Structure 1
Amino acid sequence: MADRFVPAGNVWAVPEFAQHIIIAEGLILCRDDLFLHNTEVLASEAVRSSHYLGELSGQACGVHVVSRQIEIVGYEWRNLRSLLTRVEESLFALAGRALQISHWDGQHQFCGRCGTPTIYHPSDRARTCSACDLTVYPRISPCVIMLVTRGQECLLARHASHRNAMYTALAGFIEPGESAEQALAREVQEEVGLSVGELKYVGSQSWPFPGQLMIGYLAEWQGGDLCLDPNEIEEAEWFHYLSLPAIPPVQTLSGRLIHTFAEMVAAKRR
C-alpha cells in the first residue's frame, strides 16, 4: 500500500521533521531512488530555508533548500523526471510539491511590483511585500489534456517541443476567461484542426514542470481533417486501440487517458 501523504494545513505550525527532502538548484538529493531521508543529512548551516509539507504516514515531512549542490558520499542530485515511474505515485507527488514550494520561495524573494524584499505571510503559504502589500502564492497553472477519440481509434501526437519521439495526448494551457471545456475545444482546433463533441472527464494530476495542474478528458471527434500547427505539433496520427505506439506510462495523466480509452473500447467489444 502506498504511503499516505496529508498536506499541511497550518504551514507555519511546524513540528520537528521526521522525513527530510533536500533540494538545490532545482535538483533533489537522492540515495538510489530514495529522496526521503530520516536524518537531516546536511548541516543546518547549509540550509537557506525550510518548509513544512505535511504528514507522510503520520510523520512530519519537510523540504530544506540549500544554495548549491553539496557532494555527499553515496548520494546524488537528480531531476524530478528521473523519479517518474521509479517511485510510487503518491511519493512522486510529494517530491513535486517540495520542488514547487522551493521554486516559489526562490523566485519571490523580492516584490515584483516595487522591488522591496518580501517576508513570509503570517498564516498562509505566501510571501508578502511590507511596502505595497503585494502577496504572492505558489503559482499553479491549469492545463487541459485531451485524448481525441473516433470509434476504436484515438489521436496521438508528437509535440514539437518534446525531445523524445513518444506519442501522447494533446494538451494546452487554459487562457484567462475560459472554462476547461472551452480551452479544450480551442486547443484541439488550433493544434490539429479538428472539432470535438461529447467530453468525458477522466481525472486531474499535479504536473510540477514547473507548476501545472492537468485536467484530463476523453473528447469525441466531431469533424474536420488533420491540419497540424507546425509550431506545436510535429506529427499526429489516428491509432487503433490495439495498435498503439510507444506511449507515456500510466503514472502520467496522458498514459491514463490512453489506457482508459483502450479499456472502454475493449469492454464494449466483449
Structure 2
Amino acid sequence: MSDLFVPAGIVRPAPAFRRHIVVAEGQLLCRGASFLHADLPLADKDLSASHFLGELEGETCGVHLISRQWDIAGYEWRGLRSLLGEVDEHLFSLAGRAMQVVNWDCDHRFCGRCGSATEYHERDRARVCSRCQLAVYPRISPCVIMLVTRGEECLLARHAHHRHGLHTALAGFIEPGETAEQALVREVREEVGLEVGACRYMGSQSWPFPGQLMLGYLAEWAGGDLAPDLEEIAEAHWYHFSDLPAIPPAQTLSGQLIRTFASENNNRQ
C-alpha cells in the first residue's frame, strides 16, 4: 500500500475519525467515485459498528457499518469492483481494506467452533469467543498469479466465470502444505496443461474479492501443448508482446505482470 496510508492493526483505541467510509450490504457510500467523506452523513445511532483503519496523509480513517442502504441525498451505493480504475491505487487499497474489515466483523459474530457469541479483543483486530476463547482474525487467502512466457510470447487466458472479455494471467489459491512455487506449477498444469521452469517473483497485491493476497510471478514455459480445462479457463492463447488483446488495467497485479513483460521485451529491440 502507498506510504500515503499508514495502516493500523487494532480495533481499540479508536480515535475520532477525520475521514469516513460507510458500508452497507457489501457496498460503499459514494459521491461519484469518492468513498472517503470528511463528514459522516449519518447519525451515530444509525451505525452498527465502527473500525479504525489507519491514517491517510496524517488524517485518521475509519469504516462504519450500517444495517441497510439508506437513501442519502447526493450519494449513491457502489460495489468495490466498480471503483477499480476510477480511483488511485492507494485509495482502492484503502477501500479494499475497509471492506475486508467489515466482512470479518460481520462473518464472525459467532464462534465457528462452539456457536457462542464473540467479542472484540482488547488490543488486536480479532473477535474472541466468550466461551471457548477461540480468536478469529481477519482471514487472508494467499494466491499465486503467474504470467507464463515463451520467448517473446506470453500466455493469456479468458476465465469462464468472468463477465468481462479481458485476457489475463493464470491464478489460483495456494493449498495447505504448498509453497507458492509448488502452487504455481500445479495451477498451470491443471488449468492449461503446461509445464513451467524458472520463476521470477515480481511482487504482491492485496485483492479484496473477498480477501486474497496475490503473489505475482513471471514463469518460463518448459513444455507441453495448450489444453485449457474449459471449466475455469474458457480459452487460452499465446500472444506476442507487441500484439496483446484487451488486458486488465495497470492497477491490477495481472496488468502489471503483462505490462512488465511487454516493456522488458520492447527494451530488448
Query: Is the pair's TM-score, using the shorter chain for normalization, greater than 0.5?
Result: yes
CA distance in 2, matches of 1:77, 1:141: 27
Other-structure match for 2:32? 32
CA distance in 2, matches of 1:45, 1:236: 52
CA distance in 1, matches of 2:9, 2:207: 21
CA distance in 2, matches of 1:159, 1:268: 31
- 1:205 counterpart letter in structure 2: Q
- 2:124 counterpart letter in structure 1: D
Other-structure match for 2:167? 167
CA distance in 2, matches of 1:234, 1:63: 38
Other-structure match for 2:75? 75
1:27-78 CA-to-partner distances (Å, cap 9, x unmatched) read 0000011110011110111100000000000011000000100001110000
CA contact (8 A) 1:19 1:59 kept: yes
CA distance in 1, matches of 2:60, 2:251: 25
Deviates more, 1:117-126 or 1:4-13: 4-13
Equivalent residue runs for 1:208-223 within 5 Å? 208-223=208-223
User: Offset at 1:13?
Assistant: 2.0
Other-structure match for 1:23? 23
- SS, match of residue 14 in structure 2: coil
CA distance in 1, matches of 2:135, 2:3: 33
| Percent of matched pairs sharing the same residue | 65
CA distance in 2, matches of 1:63, 1:257: 31
CA contact (8 A) 2:142 2:215 kept: yes
CA contact (8 A) 1:3 1:91 kept: no
**Is 1:229 aligned with 2:226?**
no
CA contact (8 A) 1:53 1:63 kept: yes
CA distance in 2, matches of 1:111, 1:11: 18
Give the structure-1-normalised TM-score. 0.98
CA distance in 1, matches of 2:118, 2:259: 45
Give the structure-2-normalised TM-score. 0.98
The count of residues paired between Structure 1 and Structure 2 equals 268
- 1:204 counterpart letter in structure 2: S
Equivalent residue runs for 1:54-65 within 5 Å? 54-65=54-65
Other-structure match for 2:85? 85
CA distance in 1, matches of 2:246, 2:161: 18
- SS, match of residue 48 in structure 2: strand
- SS, match of residue 12 in structure 2: coil
- SS, match of residue 181 in structure 1: helix
CA distance in 2, matches of 1:20, 1:112: 31
Q: Which runs of 4+ in 1 moved over 3 A?
A: none
Gap regions ≥5 residues in structure 1: none
User: Offset at 1:9?
Assistant: 4.5
CA distance in 2, matches of 1:267, 1:200: 18
CA distance in 1, matches of 2:82, 2:230: 29
CA distance in 2, matches of 1:13, 1:57: 20
1:221-251 CA-to-partner distances (Å, cap 9, x unmatched) read 0000011111111000000001100000011
User: Offset at 1:3?
Assistant: 7.6
CA contact (8 A) 2:9 2:125 kept: no
CA contact (8 A) 2:9 2:53 kept: no
